[in-house]
Amino acid sequence: MDYQKILDTIYDEISYRDVTGKVASYIPELAKVDRRKFGMHVYCGDEQHFSFGDSTELFSIQSISKVFTLAMAMRLMGEHLWDRVSVEPSGDPFNSLTQLEYESGIPRNPFINAGALVISDILVDQLDDPKQELLDFVRHITGDPSIDYDKTVAASEKSTGYRNIALVNYIKALGNIKCDVEPIVDFYFHQCSLAMSCEQLSKAFMIFANKGKILSTGEKILKPKTVKRINALMQTCGFYDEAGEFSFQVGLPGKSGVGGGIVAIHPDNYSVAVWSPILNEKGNSELGMKALERFTTLSGVSVF
The footprint of ligand GLN (CB under 6 A) covers: 62-63, 94-95, 113, 157, 164, 192, 257-258, 283
CA distance 37 to 261: 11
Coil, strand or helix at 201: helix
Where helices occur in 130-221 by DSSP H, the ranges are 130-142, 151-160, 162-174, 181-193, 198-204, 206-209
CA distance 128 to 48: 37
Which amino acid makes up residue 212?
A: G
Rounded CA gap, 166 and 160, in Å? 12
CA pseudo-torsion sign 229, 174, 113, 213: negative
- For ligand GLN, the closer CB: 212 or 277: 277
Which of 117/214 has CB closer to ligand GLN? 117
Q: Which residue is nearest to ligand GLN (CB)?
A: 63
Within 8 A by CB and 6+ apart from 142, the residues are 200, 203, 204
Shortest CB 94 distance to ligand GLN, Å: 4
Question: Minimal CA–CA distance to 286: which of 3, 23, 53?
Answer: 23
Smallest gap from residue 258 Cβ to ligand GLN (A): 4
Nearer to ligand GLN, 62 or 142 (CB): 62
Q: Are 145 and 136 in contact (CB under 8 A)?
A: no
Identify which of residues 187 and 270 has a Cβ nearer to ligand GLN in the complex: 187
Residue 52 or 121: which CB sits closer to ligand GLN? 121
- By C-beta, is 62 or 96 nearer to ligand GLN? 62
